[in-house]
Structure 1
């Protein structure tokens, strides 16, 4: 609410400043730099994921890996977020094992393999795939590589081990980036 009030105050001040200028000041105003204030409202990546029951396993994993603060920071980030169904495809006991404190490093590596620095919406990903002869390599925050390609109209991610995930929901907006839900967990090498 405080951010909204600041935004409204900035808009009101800007409006009154513009409308109160006399016509003799018009030439001077053309050479001045105009400051633009952009206020992004809404939840960050962690907040968006926490608000969607399809990401409850991912949220539990992010908490166990102590990545809440990182993924709540300014970013921007693009997160290829495995759904609960994606985690359920892993061998039985894998998720429970990864959530144990002793496996925090492994879990952190897996989760950060799903994160790319920068904000890449679906249109940008598709354009990059097409501009790179059908296969666009992206480096993850973990340091590994994912290859984005198209299967018909679907964006497919292939990890360095040959595992494949399909983007099932694209362009879930967050204040610090964008989330693309995927149907499988991709793994680092």
Structure 2
């Protein structure tokens, strides 16, 4: 009888301890998500969002560093929908020497954010739906102008869309130039 009582007591203690550790783990996970924001949500089953598309591309490491430096990761990880005109590393390399490094400095965060937001539109604008002369408002308040020539789609006459990737919260158009607001 004493052994049954002792076993029952041990079982109750184990159950209480395991319940407490589950509560602690869930509170820790909730705290981590709330501190990280939308970008901290782990989802390996859904289609990638626009940030995850860029992060997964070897050709967009400079853009990813810039988005991180401007603290725009969470904003671009939200539901959107967004159209992101994503300059490649080669596009950033075309800028005058020292430009990218200068913009990545903490004191240039607002300037960097303005430039990056000039690459983002609210809504989904598929490449095949863009028309010659179309003007699209950007997140920073500026506008871009689409032109079509020889089967190519250009933005502001300076950057060409070279590929498009659908994302869970919009579309990413890979471009070969950096768009600079007026």
If the TM-score is normalised by the length of the shorter chain, which range does it land in? Answer: 0.7 to 0.9
1:135 maps to 133
Secondary structure in 1 matching 2:134? strand
Structure 2 residue aligned with 1:150: 148
Secondary structure (helix, strand or coil) at the match of 2:75 reads helix
Q: Which residue in 2 is equivalent to 1:9?
A: none
User: Which of 152, 162, 169 is the matching residue for 2:163?
Assistant: 169
Distance in 1 between residues matched to 2:141 and 2:119, nearest whole Å: 10
TM-score relative to the length of structure 1: 0.71
Which stretches of structure 1, 4 residues or longer, exceed 6 Å deviation after superposition? none
Instruction: Report the alpha carbon displacement of residue 147 of structure 1 after superposing the two structures with TM.
Output: 0.3
**Rg larger for:** 2
The structure 2 residue matched to 1:121, chosen from 123, 126, 129, is 126
Deviation at 1:188, TM superposition (A): 0.7
Q: Distance in 1 between matches of 2:49 and 2:110?
A: 24
Deviation string, structure 1 residues 110-155 (Cα, Å, up to 9, x no partner): 0000000001111221xxx1xxxx3101110011110001011110
Q: Structure 2 CA distance, aligned partners of 1:145 and 1:152? A: 23
- After TM superposition, the score normalised by the length of structure 2 is 0.74
The CA RMSD over aligned residues, in Å, is 1.1
Specify every segment of 5 or more residues in structure 2 that has no aligned partner in the other structure, as ranges.
Answer: 1-44
| Residue 41 of structure 1: how far off its partner (Å) | 2.2
Could you tell me which runs of 5 or more consecutive residues in structure 1 were left unpaired when the two chains were aligned: 1-39
CA distance in 2, matches of 1:147, 1:42: 29
How far, CA to CA, are the matches of 1:91 and 1:41 in structure 2? 39
